[in-house]
Amino acid sequence: MNQTRTQVLLLMLMGVVILLMIAILGLFIRMNQLQQEVLAALEPLQAMRRAQGLEIGTEAPAFTLPDATGQMVSLGDFAGQKVLLVFSSTQCPACAEVWPHLKTFSERGEDVQIVMISLGSPEENRQLVEEQGFGFPVLIWEDSVARDSVLLPH
């Protein structure tokens, strides 16, 4: 009787081990499916990260946008100058970390004109200019300008 009971317990234990192995296999398959779904969802973001903008020295597409005060500014206004186009957002924490560096760079008198195109309302951008003390134009964002500069997917 003892031997029969041991065999039954051993069979039950083997059954539990087999069920656990099946559950682990199921979890592995599901995790693989989830990983594929996450990677597929992130693909558009990866494409944006790969977009490097225009090659250095490439002429940017012409545009005219209002600045933070409502005055129209054209890229053609800076003809013959080296221009650093900066795309930013008033709500972007990473952008906020860059702003003091842009201000310092612009104040050094380098041979480069900064033109920032900022996502945000005109009021938010006026406040940004006042708070940061920017001496360079801050223009109101337009998607087509960002897209033409190869920053957003077409």
Which of 33-37, 50-54, 112-116 bottoms out in mean pLDDT, i.e. has the lowest? 50-54
120-153 confidence digits (pLDDT tens): 889 999 999 999 999 999 999 877 776 666 544 4
Predicted pLDDT at 82: 87
102-120 confidence digits (pLDDT tens): 999 999 877 899 999 998 8
39-48 confidence digits (pLDDT tens): 888 777 665 5
Q: Are 62 and 74 in contact (CB under 8 A)?
A: yes
Please state the rounded mean pLDDT for residues 17-38.
93
Predicted pLDDT at 153: 45
Predicted pLDDT at 68: 87
Predicted pLDDT at 109: 76
Backbone angles phi, psi at 116, to 5 degrees: -100, 135
Query: Which residues form the catalytic set?
Result: 95
Can you say how many angstroms the Cα of residue 135 is from the centroid of all Cα atoms in its chain?
26
Predicted pLDDT at 43: 77
Helix, strand and coil in the chain, % to nearest 5: 55, 15, 30
Q: Are 12 and 6 in contact (CB under 8 A)?
A: no
Query: Which tops the pLDDT comparison, 75 or 54?
Result: 75
